[in-house]
Amino acid sequence: MSIPKEIEDYNKGLSVGDKGICDALALVIDRHLPDAESKIWHRHPVWFLEGNPIVGYHKLKDCICLLFWSGQSFDEPGLAPEGSFKAAEVRYLAEDQISALVLKRWLKKAIAIQWDYKNIVKRKGKLERLK
């Protein structure tokens, strides 16, 4: 599967260092989530499985933030809780901070461990575990 042009365009709009981080993330994510749909969602690159957001990244003031929607359930070092639901994040300042092996492990867990964000509005903010 190839990275959509809109995600490539997002990455191209960043500084050289941030673009390197995002290009590296997109390649690993795309490789290990072959059944995912990827697109710009709420102005950021996001990968979905069956309409459920799994992983995405975005530019913060001083770093690139990689977010796993169900990441708090992965029980993995290196991921910090984010928000009031089940999301977890890691922040990158440089491309060489990315471990493809660690990212691959997190992506495998992202497939296996999913909370149903797709229907969170319908369930009035209540998350249910999928699979």
pLDDT tens digits for range 33-84: 999 999 999 999 999 999 999 999 999 999 999 999 999 999 999 999 998 8
Q: What is the mean pLDDT of the chain?
A: 94
The DSSP annotation for 2-56 comes to: PPPHHHHHHHHTS-HHHHHHHHHHHHHHHHH-TT-EEEEETTEEEEEETTEEEEE
115 falls in which pLDDT band (50, 70, 90)? Answer: confident
Q: Is 99 left (phi over 0), alpha (psi -120 to 50) or beta?
A: beta
Q: Give me the pLDDT at residue 66, please.
A: 98
CATH topology of domain 5-130: Aspartate Aminotransferase, domain 1 (3.90.1150)
Distance CA 99, CA 116 (A): 27
Sorted by where each begins, the domain ranges of the chain are 5-130
> Residues 39, 54, 9, CA angle at the centre, nearest 5°?
25
**Stretch 88-109: mean pLDDT, rounded?**
98
Q: Give me the pLDDT at residue 1, please.
A: 61
Beta strands 44-49; 52-59: pairing state: antiparallel
